[in-house]
Structure 1
């Protein structure tokens, strides 16, 4: 994560007499003002994902703050590398731990929660709540879709070993850490939703769309899928299916943009090459199992009724 290096500080420009030049660049659309006195190239900002913008805003606040901030909630989630599904990237979340806390502003939400010293960690140059505390805050404060995607991603980072290998003990340890915090705050706002999300989280989900699909399947009462179902597809190769319903002879794949565009998932292949590989893999799975493939993307997750109709059309929901 190189967000800090992307920022341009006005205090540096003053020494060179370039403040007015920066402001003209903002007017010309070459720079974006992240906050007062801190800028970033407009092309970099336009290309940034919401989580990247959250991190840019965090670094921008830290660069000009008179007291080092402690980032929390969705900002801390982004700093930990977690997805923040439909998160608000226009604001930064911080904890106010000292005396005379400053008030919230339009672009800074300041929380006044009690946290233990051990709950504050350092992520690079910034301070933020540690992973378990961040997950607790996100599970309590955000919608179930956002919370499930973040919790699944955290479990995947902790427990996924690749090639279908999943470490249940590592996943259970993180769930236990988050659940302990939930049980210690029985009357907290959003605690019932937090308890529910912690109970269904599963690190075998690879993308937020998979997490949200599974959440909605559960809420809708759809047939329960097996996750990362292994299928031998010949030549000593295996396919691990996002979703599988062996009894119904169907398997499901979520086709989010990340599968075709995210360098971490494409292995430097072009979208066309990824699509070709996906089609070949699907054909080999069908040949090996005789199951019917069911594919969907974000368009099917536009709303729960839309997804329900899709599942029903494929015999996965009555």
Structure 2
């Protein structure tokens, strides 16, 4: 029962329960030497410095869940609420899939800095984002769903990009098993409008994946299969 449950998507609340601070671990009566031994033996996994998860639980998490724990650890150690999360890190807060993507860093926005930089496993990006492109999810600031889709469909590989677009559209336009065609068309149109106003690497792919998105795809495998069939020349593919 536990393994099957952990193979499912992990919510922010579930991830918070899995994340252990160094203080949490030592409060169990574990010594510093025992803590080191538990990490060396895989009983505990060091999520980042000062933060841990039980090894058994970590082994059952998908890449999205593991990255979510890292995002929560960075948020909890940040003062004043911290900077807003972006890219892959915003995606896991929104519950979007990261098909065959394994983020090396936690990504945050820091405006008015001289350049983007990586330190302590956190990539800080000098990108200006308007307040309309930011939102708060369970007390954590991140880029909005639409901005996150635009960012990732231009940055990820095509399979992962379409999976993100499909999953986001599913949240917006699908009720039960039916997709509201008008809502879906409006969402695609708005993102297409925003994408036309952007230039740079990957934006052509972003426009194509947004236009091809279909919220009826329930899993990344359906998105990827549809993309491959399209490449093979099939048309009128029904989910």
Name the TM-score, length of structure 2 as normaliser. Answer: 0.85
**Per chain length, whose mean CA-contact separation is higher, i.e. which structure has more relative contact order (CA < 8 Å, sep 6+)?**
2
CA distance in 2 between counterparts of 1:101 and 1:63 reads 24
Within a 5 Å distance, the mapping from 1:154-193 to structure 2 comes to 154-163=168-177, 165-185=178-198, 187-193=199-205
- Structure 1 gap segments, 5+ residues each: 228-241, 243-318
Q: Deviations over 1:256-315 (max 9, x none)?
A: xxxxxxxxxxxxxxxxxxxxxxxxxxxxxxxxxxxxxxxxxxxxxxxxxxxxxxxxxxxx
- Structure 2 gap segments, 5+ residues each: 1-10
CA distance in 2 between counterparts of 1:172 and 1:111 reads 32
2:42 corresponds in structure 1 to 29
**Count of paired positions:** 225
C-alpha RMSD of matched pairs (Å): 2.2
Question: Within the alignment, does 1:200 sit opposite 2:190 as a pair?
Answer: no
Within a 5 Å distance, the mapping from 1:36-185 to structure 2 comes to 36-66=49-79, 68-99=82-113, 103-105=117-119, 107-163=121-177, 165-185=178-198
CA 1:179–1:106: 2 relative to 1, 3 Å: farther
CA distance in 2 between counterparts of 1:120 and 1:100 reads 21
CA distance in 2 between counterparts of 1:25 and 1:90 reads 24
CA distance in 2 between counterparts of 1:19 and 1:137 reads 44
CA 1:17–1:171: 2 relative to 1, 3 Å: same
CA distance in 2 between counterparts of 1:100 and 1:12 reads 37
SS at match of 1:22: helix
CA distance in 2 between counterparts of 1:57 and 1:63 reads 10
Name the TM-score, length of structure 1 as normaliser. Answer: 0.65
CA distance in 2 between counterparts of 1:69 and 1:27 reads 32
Q: Is the 8 A contact 1:84 1:146 kept in 2?
A: yes
Q: Deviations over 1:108-142 (max 9, x none)?
A: 22222111012111111321101000000001111
User: Larger radius of gyration, structure 1 or 2?
Assistant: 1
Structure 1 residue 208, shift from structure 2 partner: 0.9
Q: Is the 8 A contact 1:25 1:31 kept in 2?
A: yes
Q: Deviations over 1:127-175 (max 9, x none)?
A: 1101000000001111111010110111112112224x22012212322
CA distance in 1 between counterparts of 2:24 and 2:90 reads 27
SS at match of 2:119: coil
Structure 1 residue 100, shift from structure 2 partner: 6.2
Q: Is the 8 A contact 1:152 1:204 kept in 2?
A: yes
2:236 corresponds in structure 1 to 225
1:256 corresponds in structure 2 to none
CA distance in 2 between counterparts of 1:209 and 1:14 reads 42
